[in-house]
Structure 1
Amino acid sequence: MENGRSILNQISGQLNSDSFLQEHWQGTFDEYLDLVRADPKVTRTAFQRVYDMIMSYGTYPVEGKKGLIRYRFFDDPVNDGRDGIFGLSKPLMDLVNVFKSAALKYGSERRVLLLHGPVGSSKSTIARLLKQGLERYSRTEEGAVYSFGWKEEDGSILWDPMNSEPLQLIPLKHRQEICDYLNEGRDPNKETDYIVEITGEVCPLSRFMFNEKLEKANGDWTKVMDQIVVRRITFSEQDRIGIGTFQPKDEKNQDSTELTGDINYRKIAEFGSESDPRAFNFDGEFNVSNRGLIEFIEVLKLDVAFLYDLLGASQEHKIKPKKFAQTDIDTVIIGHTNEPEYRRLQSNEFMEALRDRTVKIDVPYVTKLSEEIKIYEKDYNTKRVRGKHIAPHTLEIAAMWAVLTRLETPKHHGLTLVQKMNLYNGKSLSGFTTENVEQLRKEAKSEGLFGISPRYVQDKISNALVVNSQSSNLNPFMLLNELEEGLKHHSLIANEDMRDHYRQLITVVKEEYTDIVKNEVQRAIAADEEALTRLCGNYLDNVKAYTQKERVKNKFTGEYEEPDERLMRSIEERIDIPETRKDDFRREIMNYIGALSMDGKSFDYKTNERLQKALEMKLFEDQKDTIKLTSLVSNVVDAETQEKIDIVKARLIRNYGYDEESATDVLQYVASIFARGDTKKNSDAA
């Protein structure tokens, strides 16, 4: 049996001391110059580093969307997709294009990136992924970052508080000479050749230390460089290195020193002046985020006085600490806000300067059903959650309702909201091409910027799991009831008309669910392989005779008869083949069989989805009366019928993911539908 020491020894054996030493490398300034000459990318700007970090994970095309690509980074592969962004391919492309433009210094590097969208649309998740990604990237050789410190007489090292680039220590008049040395043999016109540029100045403290030591060295700055210790740094939000986060508080209590640092009054007595940089704490969010990224949470809630710091940091790449001159910074500024706050920005004339320096990236809700389903499967990614089985289609139906709330009513005559959702999800619909679907999206510019948040649905899934604790299952009706009940107290629903619209959509998805489970039960009943094969053979014999104008031999009498039109139409009508199209459909089937035969292959009805569906529906109609499914409602079931029902239930469990309880529930629900249908037929006949 293992004890505490053995497990610690096991972990110790897995640690890589070489990697630790690399991450904590220290050296001289001239050694750093050698590093830069060998790999100039260590001097990249913050935007260049963020862009390279994203691209280091690779890309892949979006299926069915020409020109759209996905960045693997936003799938969060490092954490098995825990914070992965589903959908939103176009907004993420827009965001990365801004990073690329800024990396190439086309002007975007002087802008505030504003993620704009409704609550719960992944804005914070995107910012969190970028921050965590930078932390990981700075620990790799490809993403190495370096800063410096000053050797003190007592042997200690005074590290630069803003983790500035060591090359900024080189005086202006010598920078070109150093750059020429570092860039020797590299072509500035080649994308693969990174060219070193030295811009900006060190922070006030390092400037003070440099001048003090320069005076002692009688103006020989190369001797000052001998007192420099260069070190590798790794970004860390927790340690406040390279990653900053600012969240506005009460407007009356906002203080700009939170961004740019403040005087350390205890050190004034030691150094004698408020203007001595040694008596100043360079620990504001802009200070600590130098070389990396700063996130502004709800950025538009900032007091107007803060805007001067924000505008200077974005446009001029400078901040103004109290009592000191403007100080250079290099950081990516990314903020996020919601629609009401953004509307306030547009109407506030004092915010005009900020609007002019902002690149807005819309981050809407997902409007593709399959992507919305993945959001909920991420948290409820197994069929059992703490001992409770989530019945098939439960998450799908919740996602369907959420997506429908985000769609605009179609302007196209005869197109329903559900059909529009299905088109967005990649399903085909007669009369609609890919171009038509793109046009639908273009017409509805605000889709995804309103509607129900995934967060609301996730909360209601959690509630439904608790409220229905007496059941071992969570089924769609339980969840839909919870979603509808919560609408009464939903604080973000603007008016009663909207609330009524959302309730109506719950009715719509209930109808969709009914169609789904009816079809599943039908297929489970008709999942008799031998019977389907016989029915298919019979149908194809008749189709062959019909298309070749021949007669069919009756298996029982041995006589030749006309093709059974009634049989063929009873199958074809199941998949809406009209009378006028029956000849075309039958010829398509025979041509397909002929093509397979030429390749030495035999026909299998399972390879033709439409024909398989038609055969299953026909077989279901023929068999449902023998199974007496409606007897489930009356609870009077004979042994022979129970045996057949158990077979169907076993198929639902095996093929569709039900368990015993949920399979029984869905059979009883579908049975009640057929029972109501029989009652309706009888009343109509009377």
Structure 2
Amino acid sequence: MENGPKLDSSEVLERIGASIRDRFASQKRVLSFEEYLALFRQHPWRHSRDAARYLRDCFDHFGKETLSKPGGPQTRFKLFDLAFLKETDGRRRHDYLVGHEDIQQAFYRVLGNFVREGRINKLVMLHGPNGSAKTTFVHCMMKGLEAYSETDDGALYVFSWIFPRGRDGRTVGFGSNDDSMMRDGSFAHLPDAQIDLRMVSELRESPLLLLPRPERRRLVRDAYEAANIQEVPTALVMEGQLGAKNKQIFEALLTAYRGDLRRVLAHVRVERFYVSERYRQAAVTVGPQMAVDAQERQITMDRSLAALPASLASLSLYETHGELVDASGGLLEFSDLLKRPLDAWRYLLLAVEEGEIALAQSVLPLNAVFVSTSNDIHLKAFREHHEYRSFRGRLSLVRVPYLLDYKAEQGIYDAQIVPQVRTHVAPHATYVAALWATLTRLRRPQTESYENKKLGQLASSLTPIEKAEYYADLVIPNRFSNEESQILRANFAEVKHETDTWPNYEGSTGASPREIRVLLLDAAQDPAFKCLSPLAVLARIRELCEADDYDFLKETPEGGYHDHRGFVDVVRERWLDRVDDEFRRSTGLVEETQYLDLFDKYVTHVSNWVKRERVYNPVTGQYEEPDQKLMENVEGMLGVQRNNDSFRRDLISAVAAHALDHPGEKVSYPRLFPRYIQQVREATYGKRKKQLAEIARDVIATVNAETAHLDAERIARAKGTVERLEKQVGYAEPSIRDAIGELLRRRYEP
């Protein structure tokens, strides 16, 4: 039952209306020019930005965070998380940008260059393979601009001309002496019922441009100095001029009022506007159509403007329209720009460089960040064009490759696909897809690419799966010595960027996220499985490989690389490694701390052995010689030859180096020696393989409700394992059946 007083419809409407009126006033939606000038003097930076500074400030407004990456700390701008949409839309948005922190930094640097130069003089071209998130990158910026424009820091203003009807029946202005309708010296706050005509500046020019240039420069410099702003003002406010239509109206009013600027500005209403991608307001996307993106039309011939003052109607006023006009003050994206013939967009680069574009009757000033997208195939063709060199200096190229970190790739599918699947999503289903997709994008390292030949030899020996795990977590294969591991860790960036100058750089080819998204959705509907199972994903990947419909599938395998069909088996084994580990933990046969404690004890004894010191025994309270039997037992688990002094010394050197790099931080052996820990774990469980196989069969019997042949103890143990798999890992009965069944067949059955 509903509580609270009953309100009739009129009362509800009045309450809502009052809330909107209060919000309208607090947002300073309508101002006179004088009120706007006061606002500018209070916040000079905020109200004198061009589109580049506005977009850069938008990046900064949402903040940034430092991510721990294998190559070192990396900055991510929170704008691309679209977290603000959760608040404004009341629902989670899944189309945020996953990964690509280096692309965010590259774009931010370009904006910084525009700011330092004081003007936008280049077209930013995002290029990469199809489906590499170029469009997602741009649309995140547009969503950010929309949200930013609703804040006080992001307030944007446009002006319009107001012509009220005077008592003498004529439109006020151009000679009418009836100023009684003014409020505080301005017509800005008149109700619409008393206004004959309102002409908006379609270019969304800064109201500051209404001031003569010499006085405007002095005003801006004084305001910047008073606010202690170190950066120089933009060319937009220091050198900019009104568009043709507004300039004609301004000059006509100034003449009519015999140079009285205050009376001219009395006709100016300053209004706040908001960026909107949906309504094409300062956030516009243009497809690859073959047309000039701005036009003009004569408005003095429009019968709807009959209320124009006579002196104004005698002018030839032209109103501009089109995508370049709609995007003014914000961001304009040219999608697949290079699909246009060169002649269809040649004017654009010249216009961006000059900051204006010539139309038939006027010159259109430009104030927008121009971004284009293109795939690498079209860019390659453009580079071979004889005029490419003349255009190159007007372009800022930003490469957007496919992701090479399978963990980030998995984030795409967890965000965009999992919420759409109406059935249970098995653990690691998206991991399997992401790992395979990443493997298809990797290139074989070339020894000759490295000045450090030792590094080149180590890098070129990495298998595709080793390279993928190296990129994702800086995992070094156990087969490398401590010295070799240090070389690979210290030179991660060089290995990661080896192919940057190659025509077929890493991430330029391979499985596209678009294809993998479809593949996952198809796998979720596979009638052979009752959930989105990794087995269903692997089956779909194998079908994709057999269809051979994509160019990357036609690549010739080289040293294990580009073997896209073989990668299916590699991914299956990595998935089973995870399942095996989760299953073993869930059985409760061995606590995780047992082998961690064993390895910790081993390191302690080895450390004292290297230093030729005794080890304190807490049981006896005595100092004793390092336990040789213990050390040899663990080294046997690690596959190390007995009495291998160099292995022990290298191990302690690695621990010491980590301590120097991370002072005051306790050493995490699973992080420092992941493979050693895994080997100790394997050896620990290896002795219980028959028992694990029995438990696995009992688990399958339990989820299939076929436990009649089991005694109470085995049933209880199996149910406990199932419960832990469900609660601690996220399995459900269908995914347990698939995963443990596959593990049993491939790992535990004789």
Amino acid at match of 1:77: A
* Aligned CA distance change for structure 1 residues 27 and 646 (closer, same or farther; 3 Å): closer
Shift of 1:385: 3.6
Distance 1:343 1:112 in 2: 17
**What residue is the counterpart of 2:66 in the other structure?**
61
Q: 1:138 aligns with which of 146, 149, 162?
A: 149
In the TM superposition, what are the counterparts of 1:509-520 in structure 2 within 5 Å? 509-520=571-582
Q: 1:198 aligns with which of 225, 233, 238?
A: 238
In the TM superposition, what are the counterparts of 1:199-598 in structure 2 within 5 Å? 199-249=239-289, 254-256=290-292, 258-262=293-297, 267=302, 280-321=318-359, 323-381=360-418, 385-386=421-422, 388-411=423-446, 412-429=459-476, 430=480, 431-432=484-485, 433-445=488-500, 446-468=505-527, 471-489=529-547, 491-493=549-551, 496-497=554-555, 501-525=563-587, 527-529=589-591, 532=594, 565=629, 569=632, 571-581=634-644
Query: Higher mean Cα deviation, 524-533 or 573-582?
Result: 524-533
Shift of 1:462: 0.6
Distance 2:588 2:363 in 1: 78
Distance 2:353 2:38 in 1: 33
Partners of 1:204 and 1:277 within 8 A in 2: no
User: Any gaps of 5 or more consecutive residues in structure 2?
Assistant: 87-92, 166-194, 447-458, 618-625, 656-666, 702-706
Shift of 1:457: 0.9
**What residue is the counterpart of 2:740 in the other structure?**
667
Amino acid at match of 1:521: F
Shift of 1:180: 5.0
Query: Higher mean Cα deviation, 417-426 or 205-214?
Result: 205-214
1:401-437 CA-to-partner distances (Å, cap 9, x unmatched) read 1111111023334311111111111233132332332
1:168-224 CA-to-partner distances (Å, cap 9, x unmatched) read 122335434444554453556x35999994322222221221222223223434431
SS state of the match for residue 520, structure 1?
A: helix
Give the TM-score of the pair, scaled to structure 2: 0.75
User: Any gaps of 5 or more consecutive residues in structure 1?
Assistant: 553-561, 593-602, 679-686
The answer to whether 1:147 aligns with 2:164 is no
Query: Higher mean Cα deviation, 40-49 or 84-93?
Result: 84-93
Shift of 1:520: 3.2
Query: Higher mean Cα deviation, 502-511 or 512-521?
Result: 512-521
Shift of 1:543: 7.1
SS state of the match for residue 47, structure 1?
A: helix
Distance 2:671 2:538 in 1: 36
The answer to whether 1:19 aligns with 2:59 is no
* Aligned CA distance change for structure 1 residues 415 and 31 (closer, same or farther; 3 Å): same
**What residue is the counterpart of 1:124 in the other structure?**
135
Q: 1:70 aligns with which of 64, 71, 76?
A: 76
Distance 1:270 1:18 in 2: 33
Distance 1:539 1:329 in 2: 69
Distance 2:604 2:228 in 1: 74
Amino acid at match of 2:75: I
Distance 1:22 1:534 in 2: 61
Partners of 1:46 and 1:331 within 8 A in 2: yes
Shift of 1:36: 1.3
The answer to whether 1:35 aligns with 2:77 is no
Partners of 1:521 and 1:670 within 8 A in 2: no
Shift of 1:438: 1.8
Q: Give the aligned CA root-mean-square deviation in angstroms.
A: 4.4
Shift of 1:327: 2.0
**What residue is the counterpart of 1:650 in the other structure?**
723
1:62-94 CA-to-partner distances (Å, cap 9, x unmatched) read 314446322121222213563332221212111
Partners of 1:410 and 1:416 within 8 A in 2: no
Distance 2:348 2:137 in 1: 21
Partners of 1:522 and 1:616 within 8 A in 2: no
Shift of 1:332: 0.7
Q: 1:91 aligns with which of 94, 103, 122?
A: 103
* Aligned CA distance change for structure 1 residues 35 and 344 (closer, same or farther; 3 Å): same
Partners of 2:440 and 2:564 within 8 A in 1: yes
Amino acid at match of 1:483: I
Distance 1:540 1:20 in 2: 70
Partners of 1:59 and 1:70 within 8 A in 2: yes
Query: Higher mean Cα deviation, 227-236 or 263-272?
Result: 263-272
Shift of 1:238: 2.8
Distance 2:671 2:335 in 1: 52
Shift of 1:45: 0.8
The aligned length equals 646
SS state of the match for residue 362, structure 2?
A: coil
Query: Higher mean Cα deviation, 523-532 or 535-544?
Result: 535-544
Shift of 1:506: 1.7
Shift of 1:312: 3.4
Shift of 1:626: 3.8
Partners of 1:114 and 1:361 within 8 A in 2: yes
* Aligned CA distance change for structure 1 residues 371 and 285 (closer, same or farther; 3 Å): same
Shift of 1:454: 1.2
Partners of 2:64 and 2:76 within 8 A in 1: yes
* Aligned CA distance change for structure 1 residues 642 and 607 (closer, same or farther; 3 Å): farther
Shift of 1:329: 1.8
1:355-407 CA-to-partner distances (Å, cap 9, x unmatched) read 2200000111111122111111112457x941x22222111111101111111
Distance 2:509 2:208 in 1: 48
Shift of 1:669: 1.9
Query: Higher mean Cα deviation, 451-460 or 76-85?
Result: 76-85
Shift of 1:44: 0.7
Percent of aligned pairs with the same amino acid: 22
Distance 1:319 1:389 in 2: 56
Distance 1:534 1:308 in 2: 65
SS state of the match for residue 497, structure 2?
A: helix
Distance 1:70 1:642 in 2: 49
**What residue is the counterpart of 1:682 in the other structure?**
none
The answer to whether 1:164 aligns with 2:205 is yes
- Higher helix share goes to which structure? 1
SS state of the match for residue 102, structure 2?
A: helix
**What residue is the counterpart of 1:555 in the other structure?**
none
Q: 2:114 aligns with which of 102, 106, 121?
A: 102
Amino acid at match of 1:210: F
Distance 1:84 1:261 in 2: 37
SS state of the match for residue 516, structure 1?
A: helix
* Aligned CA distance change for structure 1 residues 137 and 630 (closer, same or farther; 3 Å): closer
1:428-484 CA-to-partner distances (Å, cap 9, x unmatched) read 31323323322212222211122111111111111111123x533222121111123
1:506-560 CA-to-partner distances (Å, cap 9, x unmatched) read 222122223332333344445444995899599989979x97999x9xxxxxxxx
Give the TM-score of the pair, scaled to structure 1: 0.82
Shift of 1:270: 8.1
SS state of the match for residue 687, structure 2?
A: helix
* Aligned CA distance change for structure 1 residues 495 and 264 (closer, same or farther; 3 Å): farther
**What residue is the counterpart of 1:684 in the other structure?**
none
Distance 1:606 1:111 in 2: 49
